[in-house]
Structure 1
């Protein structure tokens, strides 16, 4: 007797035959979006008051629109393989290379930054980690290479690890929402007055730009398209559902903390999640927030480690990087791309470990974050040119430009430096084709 259809679907929802099912692809999207930033963002947004709530609403809506554009492109052009593949299909290999390159550099710096953030949280639990200047960088390097080893075991190991860590990191978000719900139900909630901070378009734009940093990564399933089962269906669903769920959780969680904690307390807190839980529930439970923050960072680091190798492999298969990067081992893992990418990310960790280069690293991080916005803008323009979901593409392009403006002319404009870094590679690849 054949198995029931719903059972077959459930069995293949996670990771099987070396590819990610729907649940694993959603875990990749949500796990990469929910990293270290959400645990600090309420403090950053506290001075904005209700502007932050409006910013979250606009950011979540904008991210969902961009996710819809990616979903439409994936269904129309499954052979393109990735967001940068859509750009190549619309504007040619030159545009595809530079958008791919700037995004790849941003992934390398993201891996380094998440590792450093994880060590920062760990140092609260183990002060010896920060006792000497070199220890945080060394610990971050151990995390970077440890997660690389997990990914070298294959997509199945990385995917299952992502599912578990994503499930764990959602727990503190649900706890905060439950506490807020109890406060409202019992009438104990004292919400920040609307007029405590003037609601202005400029403030909403600034808050929305900050909140977007926490939602970066919804393109993760599209980047790893070659590792997703039934990509034409599962990538679209994972991207849309993962983005909507994460955006909804962020809206409820960050708004609850920013509006229920006194503004001065929230803004000054180095750990607003823990402060909220300690104030309205239990100090002992608040101590566990650090553990969840570490797990959140490690889960995000696992997902971004997968992406950095997949991005390099995808570029190599589209002849935007040397073919050497596309080689895979018996498990289907792009071994060379993983090792080289992890090595480059390690250099960024080392830069962060050097006090003399700290400012340079932070500036490069700001540029790389802005670089992700260029990928989103390029995908919306590609959809417009290819006549795929043009209304959504237009709205998405306007939103991407709006957030680029909110990021500041300096960060958005200077992100072209990252593109220029790829020029020698592009010229070398073109020379090799002519030989």
Structure 2
């Protein structure tokens, strides 16, 4: 979960001021609610290959396929965002990386393929890399918290140095969608259930505790940065966390934080590259996708799905170099969130139909509808269009299984 989102979102939320703070107060409990539903589904179906397979069981193979495909689209789309974020932080050391849109795109594409090569070596190696980067990426977050503690208990009064946009109910839905984006990832343990030892116990622990801890970090760090500095300063920052530390601790500290922020984004990218292979693999083994997606290498890596997704992420990154397409980050954040929320909504409906955690599922469904509303008509419509591209695969599925 801790990756590019927390290092990117302060700049996106800064224009919303107090509305952003309230949005965090809604997004984190909403994520915990969905996390609980996914954990209960995994506990009730410990033999399932993952959450998508359980959704397919509850809703039928075609809805299960469409929802799982939507999530897969969100995975490789978010990889494009994460890779671009990593390059922006690395550019604090090598400014040439962001000298032109093409240079930025090429650097991000290179990162995607470097992590793709690592994951083609198997889930175990990718998992070890993930553990190492997880330990390192907590350091910049701790540094921000320490600065915020000093500001809160000091006498400098920076928190009230400049006015911030007052709360606006009309902007809450959009701010909610943006705050929900960094929280996406809490479902990964339930998606790769067949890789998890004792899923009924460990998925619950990883999902709920991980979401709660990460949400608390995000709330403090994002709001602390936004309210400790002038709104316009944060909104204009390419690397808001590094900028924040540099202002209070100096350029050297800012560069150190930028390095760890880049590590965090790269580690997050590694985890999502793993998921872009694991998700289609689990769907294929559950009979929701053609058997072509079930192929694995000698190291049990889902090479076909990983290569396909990395190729699509690369195309998305390179599309940012097209004139008129430079400022699509905010839209991509909303599109990725919308594409992901369809899985959460499907899990809620499946829980209702299977008689699992029905009351939380009903509340969770309302929350999902709220997040989708905040994504905007364009993002929701495009997410639906991308979902429907999976329909031809449904008709291929029986032929492949028969073969």
Provide the TM-score with structure 2 as the length reference.
0.92
1:164 offset after TM fit, Å?
Answer: 1.1
CA 1:65 to 1:362, structure 2 compared with 1: closer, same or farther past 3 Å? Answer: closer
Mapped contact 1:220–1:307 kept (Cα < 8 A): yes
Quote the residue 1:20 is aligned against. none
CA distance 1:167–1:137, shift in 2 (3 Å): same
Query: More displaced, 352-361 or 307-316?
Result: 352-361
1:383 pairs with one of 351, 355, 371: 351
Report the counterpart of residue 110 of structure 2 in structure 1.
142
Displacement, 1:193? 9.1
Q: What is aligned with 1:157? A: 125
Aligned to 2:170: 202
Superposed displacement of residue 279, structure 1: 2.6
Q: CA offset at residue 321 of structure 1?
A: 2.2
Change in CA separation of 1:432 and 1:156 when aligned onto 2, cut-off 3 Å: closer
Q: Does 1:402 align with 2:370?
A: yes
Q: Matched residue of 1:124: which SS?
A: coil
Match of 1:299 among 256, 261, 267: 267
1:328 correspondence with 2:328: no
Q: Whole-Å Cα distance in 2 between the matches of residues 427 and 358 of structure 1? A: 37
2:16 alignment partner, one of 41, 44, 48:
48
Question: Is the CA contact 1:366–1:411 (under 8 Å) kept in the aligned structure 2?
Answer: yes
1: CA distance between counterparts of 2:320 and 2:165?
36
**Aligned structure 1 segments of 4 or more residues deviating by more than 6 angstroms:** 359-362
> Which deviates the most, 159-168 or 40-49?
40-49
Does the Cα contact within 8 Å between 2:161 and 2:229 map onto a contact in 1? Answer: no
- Equivalent positions of 1:24-423 (< 5 A) are 33-131=1-99, 134-192=102-160, 196-355=164-323, 366-423=334-391
Displacement of 1:340 after TM fit?
3.1
Q: Distance in 1 between matches of 2:22 and 2:45?
A: 34
1:422 CA drift (Å): 1.5
Residue-by-residue CA offset, 1:274-319 (whole Å, 9 max, x unaligned): 2322232223201222212211111111000000000111121122
Which stretch of the first structure deviates more once superposed, 112-121 or 245-254? 112-121
After TM superposition, the structure 1 stretch with the greater mean CA deviation from structure 2, 309-318 or 354-363, is 354-363
Contact in 2 for aligned 1:325/1:337 (Cα 8 Å): yes
TM-score (norm 1): 0.85
Deviation at 1:214, TM superposition (A): 1.1
Per the TM alignment, residue 381 of structure 1 is displaced from its structure 2 partner at its CA by 1.1
Decide whether the 8 Å contact of 2:163 with 2:230 is kept in 1. Answer: no
* Residues 63, 226 of structure 1: alpha-carbon distance in 2 compared, 3 angstrom cutoff: same
Q: Which residue of 2 aligns with 1:16?
A: none
Matched with 1:30 is: none
Tell whether the 8 Å contact from 1:266 to 1:272 is kept in structure 2 after alignment.
Answer: yes
Residues of 1 paired with 2:356 and 2:281: CA distance?
26
C-alpha distance in 1 between matches for 2:141 and 2:177 = 21
In structure 2, the CA distance between the partners of 1:71 and 1:139, relative to structure 1 (3 Å rule), is: same
How far apart in 2 are the matches of 1:164 and 1:173? 16
Greater CA drift, 217-226 or 307-316: 217-226
* Distance of 2:213 and 2:325 partners within structure 1: 37
Q: Distance in 2 between matches of 1:213 and 1:220?
A: 14
Change (3 A) 1:186 1:366: closer
Distance between the aligned counterparts of 2:300 and 2:51, measured in 1? 21
User: Which among 377, 397, 400 is matched to residue 429 of structure 1?
Assistant: 397
Distance in 2, Cα, partners of 1:194 & 1:218: 35
Higher mean alpha-carbon deviation, 221-230 vs 346-355, is at: 346-355
Contact 1:367 1:418 in 2 (8 A): no
> CA 1:186/1:141 → structure 2, altered by over 3 Å: closer, same or farther?
closer
Aligned equivalents of 1:194, 1:365: Cα separation in 2: 28
Deviations 1:195-252 (Å, cap 9, x if unpaired)? 8533233333332221011111111111222222222211111111111111000001
RMSD value, Cα: 2.5
Say if 1:49 and 1:192, in contact at 8 Å, map to a contact too.
no
Flag the 1:229–1:432 CA change in 2: closer, same or farther, 3 A: closer
Deviation at 1:103, TM superposition (A): 1.1
What secondary structure does 2:92 align onto?
helix
Is the CA contact 2:23–2:176 (under 8 Å) kept in the aligned structure 1? yes
Aligned residues: 403
